[in-house]
Homo-oligomer: A and B are copies of this chain.
Amino acid sequence: MAVQTVAATPDQTDVPAFGPAAALSCRECGTRFPLSPVFACQECFGPLEVAYDLPLGDPEGLRKKIEAGPTSIWRYAPLLPVPADVTDKPNLHPGWTKLVKADNLARELGITGGLHVKDDSGNPTHSFKDRVVAIALEAARTFGLTTLSCSSTGNLAGAVGAAAARAGFRSCVFIPHDLEQGKVVMAAVYGGELVGIEGSYDDVNRFCSELIGDPVGEGWGFVNVNLRPYYGEGSKTLAYEICEQLGWRIPDNLVIPIASGSQLTKIDKGLQELIKLGLVEDKPYKIYGAQAEGCSPVSAAYKAGHDVVRPVKPDTIAKSLAIGNPADGPYVLDITRRTGGAVEDVDDEQIVDAIKLLARTEGIFAETAGGVTVGVLKKLIETGQLDPAAETVVLNTGDGLKTLDAVAPTTGPTAIIRPTLDAFREAGLA
């Protein structure tokens, strides 16, 4: 499909549809392609990513421009594949979520160098997916696509449905037919098409690939398939925000969840860009990857010293991270090793304990993925893999309200009493 650009009208200056983005570039062979809705290299089938002509040369001016921008990811429009006027378009304006100084949690974990939680449950549909979908949506708009779509088992379905509703797109989201009712309601409430597929999540994915190749799928933007190069760039904004919120500084350690691994690799890309732009000092940092033991192919490869990732069949309560064959696995291994970090995993019980630990210490109710990162952080310290005297940022990428089942069996009232002071005293609460 040919690249479509925003048409200039006589009383409008021509706004480049993809801002500073210059091309798609193959991560394996480096071949460049025009910006279009494709995701695989026509030379070597490697994954494509967005390459930029970054606004180098005036870091102070750029920093001021960013700081004067909107309180959303669009403050970083000069570094994203979106037009400069993206703020004026109908979208969910995600991002600029809180970086929470987590002194109570630090104390419990024995961290003395400072700890922050980047809490992405503050996004419009309460997960980091709003960031990536927002970039994919703008690409879909520019390419003239009219249906926004994805395969999903949860967070992404809600993010796509909501973004499409706001933007006036048709949406069509595919899910396994036997999801929990709560997730189905979240995916359906925005009024788009929601198709339950009789089969597993793998069957859903396979069917989506078929749809893209068929005339039926013409005009469709699958955010995590044919719009994936744009979609992935949304995760860079986590790196930008963390550094800006720390006062334009890279922390010593970052603990990041691994599903496909794309978020982790794009955060590294974002940090490298900030260094190149002169917005932060060039200093060493360590990137740590976090998985659930029940779906830990990258952690297993890391521990075995392998360069390739052997797919697994997921079995964990951390369903938003349950990708058995993570596309960015090898890149994650490379980044964690290169930066001196590590990849670690925790079991379901440790995940639940970590959700409760974060809630009890910082008042943040995380989804299971947040339990994975906090649990892994704890384990990294206990096993001497992470220096507690260094400054650490740990990510919470979703909301506990979406994974209530994880904590419900072990979370309830302290006591149930009659409404009298005597009963209150007898229960030992006075």
Contacts and interface: CB of A to CB of B under 8 A. Distances in A.
Contact of A407 (B185, B204, B427): B185
A47 interface: no
A361 B425 contact: no
A407 to B, nearest CB: 6
Contact of A191 (B359, B402, B420, B429): B359
Contact of A71 (B71, B210, B419, B430): B71
A283 to B, nearest CB: 26
A401 interface: yes
B400 A399 contact: no
Contacts of A168: 104
A17 to B, nearest CB: 22
Contact of A182 (B194, B355, B361, B404): B404
Given A196-B413, A211-B424, A356 B189 contact: yes
A194 B408 contact: no
A163 interface: yes
A403 to B, nearest CB: 11
Interface in A150-186: 158, 161-166, 168, 172, 175, 177, 181-182, 184-186
| Number of copies of this chain that the complex holds | 2
Contact of A126 (B92, B195, B401): B401
Of A125, A163, A188, A203, which is in contact with the most chain B CB atoms at under 10 Å from its CB? A188
A132 to B, nearest CB: 15
The 10 nearest A-B residue pairs measured at CB: A191-B360, A162-B363, A207-B419, A166-B363, A196-B416, A165-B363, A196-B413, A401-B401, A216-B430, A194-B413
Given A165-B363, A166-B363, A207-B420, 18 more contacts: A90-B103, A92-B363, A104-B168, A122-B124, A163-B363, A165-B362, A181-B404, A188-B413, A188-B414, A189-B359, A189-B400, A195-B427, A196-B413, A196-B416, A198-B417, A206-B419, A210-B421, A401-B401
Interface of A: 71, 90, 92-93, 96, 98, 101, 103-104, 122, 124-126, 158, 161-166, 168, 172, 175, 177, 181-182, 184-186, 188-191, 193-199, 203-204, 206-207, 210-211, 214, 216, 355-356, 359-365, 399-402, 404, 407-408, 411-421, 424-425, 427, 429-430
29 contacts: A71-B96, A92-B363, A104-B168, A122-B124, A126-B399, A161-B363, A162-B363, A165-B362, A177-B413, A181-B408, A182-B401, A184-B412, A185-B407, A188-B413, A189-B355, A190-B360, A190-B365, A193-B414, A193-B415, A193-B429, A194-B414, A195-B416, A195-B417, A196-B415, A197-B417, A197-B419, A203-B419, A210-B421, A211-B424
